[in-house]
Chains A and B, each alone.
Chain A
Amino acid sequence: MDGYIIPTGFIRFDVIFSLAFAIVTALVSAYAYRLYKLTSQKGLALFSGAFLSISVAYIIQTIFNFIIRYRIGELISRLARREAVFPLKILSAYFYTIFFAIGLVLLTYMTLKTNKTRILALLLGVVILPIIITQQALRIFHITALVLLLFISYFYYTNYTKHKNLQSLLILLAFIFLFMSNIQFAISLRQRLFFIAARSLELVAYSCILISLGLINKKK
């Protein structure tokens, strides 16, 4: 199975990055769920589920990166570490891609504004199955994620043209940055420096979401 080529010195920062993204996405999920409990709008529940799934993906990535960086490195010799780290990286990549893909599928389904669960089942099947059965899960995941993120970004572009406010602009920018970071991640499977660029773009994307959430909360 393929894997990201992360610059060695960046792994410790990567743990912080993925933990920060896990917190932001969990926050969005919890926020949407609180509003769902108040309004019973199905879209909010779906949205909450999507961000929860993405948050779980980042939590898994954080835990595995933490184990790889701080535990295995300290306890096992260099040769043994190389053997032990490899299956951990595979497991991490599988769980990360599956949960992130579920999140993106739920977001895409939300943008379709339909109640037909058959469409959701189809999307889940088409997106998740190739990731599970292939040996190049990350490659397949990033190609699929590019398509889904392009679709979601276009949806948020139309949403911005409808409302024309700063909050919806920030959400549009967030998904454009996530789309761009996904391109960098795909390249980082071969070139290590692109991984840092991808993470930086993700940081900008989640900052946009956080600022937007802050602005919405200010309306109180």
Chain B
Amino acid sequence: MGKRERLEVIYDILKAIQNKNSKIKPTHIMYKANLSHQMLEDYLKDLIKKQFITETKSAKGRTYSLKDKGFEYINKYKIITGFIESFGLD
């Protein structure tokens, strides 16, 4: 998967979490970000590790919410893609 595509997928996941007021189940993210189950699990693991999101486990299952770094990513997404495009880093 290309760098731009990966950045887009991350944006879609974070945006899906934000749109659900930071409480969303993995199946909803999978649908919104158009990912396979395995790919979603990999992305979620990576995003938790990078402290973009946090996972909450309850009797009803897992939910995800955004952390400060996740909000920052969403806010700066256009700058990130603009910079990457302009300087040929895609």
Contacts and interface: CB of A to CB of B under 8 A. Distances in A.
A151 to B, nearest CB: 12
Contact of B88 (A155, A215, A217, A219): A155
Contacts, number: 64
Interface string B23-44: 0000000000000000000000
Which label, helix, strand, loop or mixed, suits the secondary structure of the A interface?
helix
Which label, helix, strand, loop or mixed, suits the secondary structure of the B interface?
helix
A31 interface: yes
Nearest to A156: B88
B83 A159 contact: no
Contacts of A216: 79, 82-83, 86
B86 A167 contact: yes
B87 A171 contact: yes
Interface in A163-197: 163, 165, 167-168, 170-171
B43 to A, nearest CB: 13
B84 to A, nearest CB: 7
A217 B67 CA distance: 23
A40 B50 contact: yes
A143 interface: no
Contact of B83 (A35, A40, A110, A156): A35
Interface residues of A, number: 27
A112 B53 CA distance: 33
B84 A41 contact: yes
A215 B86 CA distance: 10
A155 to B, nearest CB: 6
A212 B72 CA distance: 22
B79 A35 contact: yes
A215 B83 CA distance: 10
A88 to B, nearest CB: 35
B89 interface: yes
Contacts of A201: none
Contacts of A40: 50
A3 interface: no
A183 to B, nearest CB: 23
Contacts of B86: 163, 165, 167-168, 170-171, 212, 216
Counting from the closest, the 4 A-B pairs by CB-CB distance are A159-B88, A167-B86, A216-B82, A43-B89
Interface of A: 31-32, 35, 38-41, 43-44, 47, 110-111, 155-156, 159, 163, 165, 167-168, 170-171, 212, 215-217, 219-220
Interface of B: 3, 7, 50, 69, 72-73, 75-76, 78-80, 82-89
